[in-house]
Amino acid sequence: MTAVVIEKLRPSRTAAAVAPVPLNRLIHVELRKMFDTRSGFWLIASVAMTALVATASVILFGRDGDLTYANFGKAVGFPMAVILPMIAILSVTSEWSQRSGLTTFALVPNRKRVILAKAYAAVAVGAASMLVALGIGAVGTVVCTAVNGTSPVWDVSVVDGVYIVLGNVLGMLTGFMLGVLIRSSAGAIVAYFVYSFVLGSAFALLAQNQQWFHDARPWIDVNYAQSVLFEGAPSAQEWAHIGFTALIWLVVPLTIGLRRLMRSEIK
């Protein structure tokens, strides 16, 4: 009798395995999590407000020769390039700072799939944000030139737009990398500003005073190497600079952070 009861309680060997959550659903969830918190909402709101302020500033204070598509796009894209990587940071660090990781990794035990979905979401947001910036720049160019009675200057080609989007996506991945590596919102945001501004300024100062570093800077300074993406089509050597610096400053730290993340205890 006991053996019969135990056999009934034992799970059926023919039961179908539970299918994992589809990756596209995980990406949709991660995109929603980026913007449905107060921090995410106000970051997006600040991007919209700064984009409007930047467009208005170009219209009000720019000279006729400055009212070009490139200047409108740069004015709108700069605040986006600064603020949006923070969203990528918070998308990763929120699992630890808000202690939602227990729920996230309980529902999806495979951490690799969750992190991959976060990476896809960061790339999607980075690409979409720059497309919005280019769109707002086009509207500003048309409206401003119509008011002034001048002809619009379209000085950004489709290829240039692709390079700009790529540069912004690399910036989003930088924020994502810092979030994975540090897993603390405050620490990762501070590291992002050091990475983007303090380190670049220090490298520029060193390049001005040391000839050897001036020659080696494109192979060391990641911000300097990637800046050519916003200035036109990079040469073969400039692509090599971008690839090498991305390997050192993005791929290697991200690999270290992923290894630590996969083994860390979720509390």
**147-185 tens-digit pLDDT:** 777 777 787 788 888 888 888 889 889 999 999 999 888
Q: Which residue has the tokens 């009000």?
A: 60
pTM equals 0.83
Positive or negative: CA dihedral 38, 40, 41, 47: positive
CA-to-CA distance for 37 and 137, rounded, in angstroms? 28
CA-to-CA distance for 6 and 31, rounded, in angstroms? 45
Tokens standing for residue 1: 């009798």
Q: How confident is the model at residue 236 (pLDDT cuts 50, 70, 90)?
A: very high
Q: Tell me the range of 17-26, 120-129, 130-139, 196-205 where mean pLDDT is highest.
A: 196-205
Instruction: From 181, 171, 216, 7, select the one nearest 77 (Cα to Cα).
Output: 171
Query: Taking a C-beta distance cutoff of 8 angstroms, is the pair 75, 54 a contact?
Result: yes
Q: Calculate the CA 123 to chain-centre distance.
A: 6
